[in-house]
Amino acid sequence: MSQIGAPSGDDLLPLAEAWKHALPDSEFASPDAPTHSDFSRGYQWFSVVGVTEENRPRRIHAALAAFDDMLARVMAAQGMVRQPQKVVLVGFSQGATITLDAVASGSWPVAGVVAFSGRLATPLPLKPAPQAPVLLLHGGQDDV
C-alpha cells in the first residue's frame, strides 16, 4: 500500500525485490491508493486537508471500503481469496495507517502487518485477529 503523494504503488516494488531473496516462495503486489493526492502527482487513501485528531478516524473509516475492495481484488489475482492467513500486509505512511485500521477492525485475519511510518487511528475497542503480529517502523526524524 503506498503513501500519500507516492507517484504509484510501483515506487515500493524495490522493497519487494529486496525481500524476494529472503522470501523466494512469496508473491508481491503494490497497488496504488484510490484517489489523487491533494499535494502532488501521487495518490492517497484519504485527504489530509483539514484533518484533525477528531476527524481522522472518520476519514479512515470512510476509506476502508476502497481498501477492502482493492485487497479483495489483489488477493483474487494472486489466488489467495480464501487464504488471508498466508498474507502479510505492508504499508507506508497512509498505506500503513489504512492497513493497521483494517486489520484492527477484524476484517482481515492476515498473517501479519509491517507498517512503515504510519499509525493506528481507530479508537478502541479493537477486534484484531490474535495471530496477526505487527511490526511498526519509524525513522528518527519521522514526526508521526
**How far is CA 115 from its chain centroid?**
7
Give domain status of residue 110, yes or no.
yes
Indicate the number of domains in the chain.
1
Tell me, yes or no, whether 133 lies in a domain.
yes
Quote the pTM value. Answer: 0.86
The CA distance from 78 to 93, in Å, is 24
Grid-cell match 484492527, residue found: 104
Looking at residue 122, what is its pLDDT? 80
Let me know if residue 3 belongs to a domain: no
In a domain, 51, yes or no: yes
Residue range(s) defining the domain that contains residue 82: 9-137
Confirm whether 2 is domain-assigned: no
Residue 4 lies in a domain: no
Phi-psi region of 21 (alpha: psi -120 to 50; beta: other; left: phi over 0): alpha
CATH number at 13 reads 3.40.50.1820
The pLDDT tens digits along the chain (144 residues) read 545 555 678 888 888 889 988 998 888 898 999 998 888 778 899 998 999 989 998 999 999 999 999 999 999 999 998 899 999 999 988 999 999 999 988 888 999 999 998 888 887 677 776 778 999 998 877 665
Distance, in Å, from the CA atom of 48 to the CA atom of 45, rounded to the nearest integer, reads 9
Inside any domain, residue 70: yes
Instruction: Tell whether 15 is covered by a domain.
Output: yes
pLDDT at residue 2, as a whole number: 47
How far from the centroid of its chain's Cα atoms is residue 67's Cα?
Answer: 8
Contacts by residues 48-55 (CB-CB < 8 Å, ≥ 24 positions apart): 48/4
